[in-house]
């Protein structure tokens, strides 16, 4: 019984430990726009989901910034002064916000997922997904949201 309790405790405490974003050392600027001095670049995109995601725009929101509306296969880009902000990670009946610190000279990638009742927003912490997203933006796979 003691070993089971130790195993459960180890599992619970290890699940809570997440490497801070800054310590991931992600390459966010190669083959992407470089933010202006003192600014952080924000990319928000929605995967191409065909007709399933085309009925409603996903909405990306950082506190104090305009809402970006994205349809399936679209992305938006803007720059904001480096500093502490909140982004809406879940919109709908019960919105949820998360704190984030943006560093100057870095880009941040957010993937949106849309459903009939809410939009979920994920800060991308995986270099492979960031690289794939940069490639899809540069190749025209994702369309700039202001082109409609």
Confidence of residue 12 (pLDDT cuts 50, 70, 90): very low
DSSP string, 18-55: ---GGGG----STTSPPPPTTEEEEEEEE---GGGGSS
In sequence order, what are the beta bridge partners of 144? 75
Full-model pTM: 0.82
**Residue range 27-147, CATH number:** 2.60.40
Paired tokens of 119: 């939009």
The model's pLDDT over 43-61, given as tens digits with 9 standing for 90+, comes to 999 987 766 666 778 888 9
Mean pLDDT of the chain: 84
Number of Cβ atoms within 10 Å of the Cβ of 91: 21
The residue ranges of every structural domain in the chain are 27-147
């Amino acid at each position: 019984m003691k070993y089971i309790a130790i195993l459960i405790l180890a599992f619970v405490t290890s699940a809570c430990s997440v490497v801070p974003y800054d310590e991931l050392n992600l390459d966010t600027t190669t083959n992407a726009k470089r933010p202006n001095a003192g600014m952080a670049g924000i990319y928000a995109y929605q995967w191409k989901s065909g007709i399933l995601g085309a009925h409603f725009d996903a909405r990306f929101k950082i506190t104090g910034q305009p809402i970006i509306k994205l349809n399936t296969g679209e992305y938006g880009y803007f720059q904001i002064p480096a500093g502490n902000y909140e982004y809406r990670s879940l919109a709908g009946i019960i919105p949820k916000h998360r704190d984030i610190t943006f560093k100057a000279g870095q880009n941040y990638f957010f993937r949106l997922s849309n459903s009939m009742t809410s939009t979920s927003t994920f800060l991308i912490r995986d270099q492979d997904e960031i690289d794939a997203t940069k490639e899809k933006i540069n190749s025209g796979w994702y369309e700039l949201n202001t082109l409609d």
